[in-house]
Amino acid sequence: MSLDTTDSYVTEDGRTIGGVVMEMKNITLRFGGVVAIKDISFDIREGEIRAIIGPNGAGKSSMLNVISGFYHPQEGEVWFHGRKRPSMKPYQVAAQGIARTFQNIALFDGMSVLDNIMTGRLTMMKSNMLQQAIWFGRAEREENQHREQVEKVIDFLEIQAIRKTPVGRLPYGLKKRVELARALAAEPKLLLLDEPMAGMNVEEKEDMSRFILDVNDEFGTTIALIEHDMGVVMDLSDRVVVMDYGKKIGDGTPDEVRNNQDVIDAYLGVAHD
Amino acid sequence: MIYREAGDFKTSYRKDSQTFPLKFDRVAYFVLLAVAFLVIPFIINDYWANAVLVPFLIYAIAALGLNILTGYAGQVSLGTGGFMAVGAYSCYKLMTGIDIFGVEFPPLNIFLSVIVSGGITAVVGVLFGLPSLRIKGFYLAVATLAAQFFLVWLFNKWGWAYNHSASGQINAPERSVFGIIVTGPETAAWAKYLFCLVFVFFVAWIARNLTRGAAGRKWMAIRDMDIAAEIIGVNPLLAKLSAFAVSSFFVGIAGALFFSVYLGAVEVGEAFGIQKSFLVLFMVIIGGLGSIFGSFAGAAFMVLLPVLLKNVLVGALGWPTDLAAHLELVIVGGLIIAFLVVEPHGIAQLWRLAKEKLRLWPFPH
Ligand SMILES: Nc1ncnc2c1ncn2[C@@H]1O[C@H](COP(=O)(O)OP(=O)(O)OP(=O)(O)O)[C@@H](O)[C@H]1O
Ligand SMILES: [Mg+2]
């Protein structure tokens, strides 16, 4: 299967959505007796914002973990850029241009904000141990080049003032933003966001929404995000997958999903009662 | 405001990532280097070399090594003594000439012997680091403890390692660098000191470079959250084993110097027993986990404390020696607990806080 660009289209707000970059085929993931994901298939197109929604325990995070190579499904296939992906370790998946943030913030607490974001570029740093030990020359040049890119991300997310702060000292909302910065520093082709706005106040949510839209718009980054706030999902996403008890119960544009009876029963009904 | 940051602007990323971003610190560093290399060799005597400076320099190397592994990469090790023994026995074999299956290697230059000993220890360190891929924390500590006991046992039993000497000891023969004797009983105090200082300088420089760049970030990422580290692209296998390799390289150099330059004669259980592992671990904890400066501070502290107590309590106050030694244990034990509970980043962090205060001095805010 080659990259399908025949049915690429332009959205209302003028962004071009391309062909399929990632396709999950009949994924089933079990933990002992618990079936976290039951025979789910869906695709992600180039340049789109794809939301995954569903009640607690539906299997959304598990799905991102399958994409990250952190969980290995018992059945099903993951296709990336038109090729079936062999079983991979998470660091190999990262090297393919997939970056992510976590539902529970997973920053490196003992390091500064700057160092945390610099770790996002580790897969691109090529100097060997000996060159790094000597420092002068290749290692130093590389460090400065990557620092320059990281500074762009820092400017983009407006976190200049906290550059040198140890992340442990930051408030929750800023930690979420630094985690996004670390993922963006990797210049991913596919960005996975697990509840990027959980626990934020309205203002912080607006900021974060703006950043997500800007990332997608300015860098053309494909984004898959999990979010519980329906308003945000409806505003941001091009297409939505709805999961419930490990099964897919809906897939389509926000409007289609909103009017899907199964979805209303399983999810929206609960959320709005 | 003796110590200040204001007005010290960085105009490039290179300048921002240098070791001493502040001019004040940079000047202090060069003055210290000049004194260490150009002044102390001329005024050092046997007492200062043997009781304070040479052990301080060698332990600083060992502490830097352990700090890379434990402080930066978060892998606890109780095998430091054993790895120092690997360095010591490698150095002994290299400097006396090796016979492997009938192939004779002539004695190697002492300078190279020490470096190659570090390399051999790095290989051994990686082997014993393999379990770290599966086990963490307490269990890894126990595994490295097993390495410690195994290595001491090995160098006790393996006649080839000590050239089948009747006493089971190894003795450093006289060797020189550029015509200056650096090992053996005839060595001058300043030569011992300077030989060790050269190694300290390069080891600290390498440690600093590795920890400020990609390798250091990989180690710290694994230390702080290994799952997230792997998902952002760090290969945990390579990160952990490289930490074991670099750490053991340094520890091996320390062991080689400890035997060849400092002690001259070694019985493995006595010189490199489990107490040595704990001593270096205490240096790292008291000095500061994850800090180059802390490794030096911890080594200085643990070397100076007994000297100081001996001079004050035994020398000035006339206490019996064993009572002073017991008091030392009590003090060290108390400090370890205090630092672990109150200030896990050790003396290095206290120093940072003091600098923050100094920056404001004489104004309270
Ligand atoms: N490592 C694991 N071991 C065992 N069970 C797991 C594991 N990870 C997830 N599960 C189970 O899989 C199911 C789906 O969990 P998952 O975290 O994917 O849900 P979610 O949709 O992200 O929920 P939430 O909205 O609460 O984050 C749950 O029943 C959970 O208990
Ligand atoms: Mg989840």
Same domain, A139 and A52: no
Same domain, A47 and A120: no
Residue B17 pLDDT grade (very low, low, confident, very high; cuts 50, 70, 90)? low
Closest CA to A207 of A244, A232, A239, A170: A232
CB contact under 8 A, A122 and B17: no
ipTM of the complex: 0.89
A-chain residues near B14 (CB < 8 A): 140, 144
C-beta separation of A229 from A240 below 8 A: no
In this prediction, residue A267 carries a pLDDT of 65
CB contact under 8 A, B232 and A129: no
Compare B304 and B98 and report the one with higher pLDDT. Answer: B304
Residue B78 pLDDT grade (very low, low, confident, very high; cuts 50, 70, 90)? very high
Tell me: the pLDDT tens digits for B179-232? 888 888 888 889 999 999 999 999 999 999 999 999 999 999 999 999 999 999
Question: Per the confidence metrics, is the pTM higher than 0.95?
Answer: no
In this prediction, residue A271 carries a pLDDT of 47
Same domain, A198 and A173: no
Same domain, A92 and A196: yes
Same domain, A72 and A199: yes
| Domain count within chain A | 2
In single-letter form, the type of residue at position A134 comes to I
Compare B258 and A230 and report the one with higher pLDDT. Answer: B258
In single-letter form, the type of residue at position A128 comes to N
Ranges B84-88, B280-284, B293-297, B304-308: which has the least confidence? B304-308
| Structural tokens at position B45 | 């005597």
Closest CA to B345 of B280, B302, B287: B287
Helix/strand/coil for B75: coil
Ligand 1 within 6 A of A103 CB? Answer: yes
In this prediction, residue B1 carries a pLDDT of 43
Which of A187, A206, A241 marks a domain boundary?
A187
Which of A142, A171, A187 marks a domain boundary?
A187
Residue A105 lies in a domain: no
Helix/strand/coil for B238: helix
CB contact under 8 A, B17 and A147: yes
Indicate which CATH number applies to the domain containing A216.
3.40.50.300
Residue B5 pLDDT grade (very low, low, confident, very high; cuts 50, 70, 90)? low
In this prediction, residue B163 carries a pLDDT of 82
> What is the secondary structure of B166-217 as a DSSP string?
TTS-EEPPPEEETTEEEESTT--HHHHHHHHHHHHHHHHHHHHHHHHSHHHH
Closest CA to A113 of A193, A174, A48: A174
CA of A192 from ligand 1 middle (Å) equals: 17
Work out whether strand A20-31 and strand A16-17 pair parallel, antiparallel, or are unpaired: unpaired
User: Is the four-CA dihedral B229, B233, B237, B243 of positive or negative sign?
Assistant: negative
Residue A102 lies in a domain: no
Same domain, A210 and A132: no
| Structural tokens at position B354 | 């003091």
Compare B66 and B309 and report the one with higher pLDDT. Answer: B66
Range of A118's domain? 110-187
A-chain residues near B236 (CB < 8 A): 91
Same domain, A35 and A57: yes
Of all ligands present, the nearest one to the C-alpha of A71 is 1
Same domain, A14 and A143: no
CA distance B282 to B278: 6
- Phi/psi of residue A98, nearest 5 degrees: -115, 120
Same domain, A115 and A233: no
- Phi/psi of residue A260, nearest 5 degrees: -80, 125
Helix/strand/coil for A1: coil
| Structural tokens at position A242 | 């709805």
In this prediction, residue B85 carries a pLDDT of 96
If you take atom 28 of ligand 1, which residue's CA is the nearest one?
Answer: A57
10-residue averages of pLDDT along chain A (273 residues) = 61 84 95 93 94 93 95 95 93 94 93 95 88 87 91 93 91 93 95 93 92 93 93 92 92 89 71 43
In this prediction, residue B196 carries a pLDDT of 95
C-beta separation of B236 from B133 below 8 A: yes
Closest CA to B58 of B276, B332, B241, B345: B276
Ranges A13-17, B59-63, B67-71: which has the least confidence? A13-17
